[in-house]
Amino acid sequence: MTRTALLVIDMQNSFLHPQGENTYAAAREVVAPVRVLIDAAAAAGTLIVHTADRHRPGFEDFEQKRLPVHCVSGSFDAAYFEGFGPAGRDNELEIIKRRHSAFFATELALFLNEQRIERLVLCGVKTNVCVRATAQDAFSTGFEVVVARQATNSNRPHLGSASLEDIDRYLGRVVDLDVALEMLS
């Protein structure tokens, strides 16, 4: 049996709350599917990893050369969107990241390897940025990559679609929600 973990990417106010600094209308379409995945993983005792994009207040950050200041630690935008983030379950972990990929300069690969995780089911926002970068690094680190199609999207649908095509062709599999649910239970 393949040991699987759910990787929930950046379900934060910045992207999902109507007043979020990086919000887009379609982002909220992933809320219900991501909750379904989390509930299934929790019920099965499957490891759930929540990532949060957070940057230090008052310090320059390399990302700011390409993006405006965002998700500053302690701010409303950096907080998890209502109902997301670690809920105190035994099978949860939080990874704070400062780049698009949840693997870059974090302990994620080390932790997952220690837990003998082989497969990652990815969900969250945004498909063409943080989900894609995380999928790339997960593949490069030796994990089987699975993206739940209905549980991710982008403010640039054409880039989201292209990213899913690339992930499915080169990095792993893009599956429907019901298939992802089976993998988590």
The tens digit of pLDDT for each residue in 170-183 reads 999 999 999 999 99
CB atoms under 10 Å from CB of 144, counted, come to: 17
pTM given for the model = 0.96
User: In total, how many domains does the chain have?
Assistant: 1
Instruction: Confirm whether 130 is a catalytic residue.
Output: yes
Q: What is the pLDDT of residues 106-134, one digit of tens each?
A: 999 999 999 999 999 999 999 999 999 99
Q: Which domain holds residue 130?
A: 4-184
List CB contacts of 48: < 8 A, sequence separation 6 or more.
Answer: 5, 6, 8, 38, 41, 42, 89, 91, 92, 93
Catalytic residue among 71, 79, 109, 130: 130
CATH number for position 133: 3.40.50.850
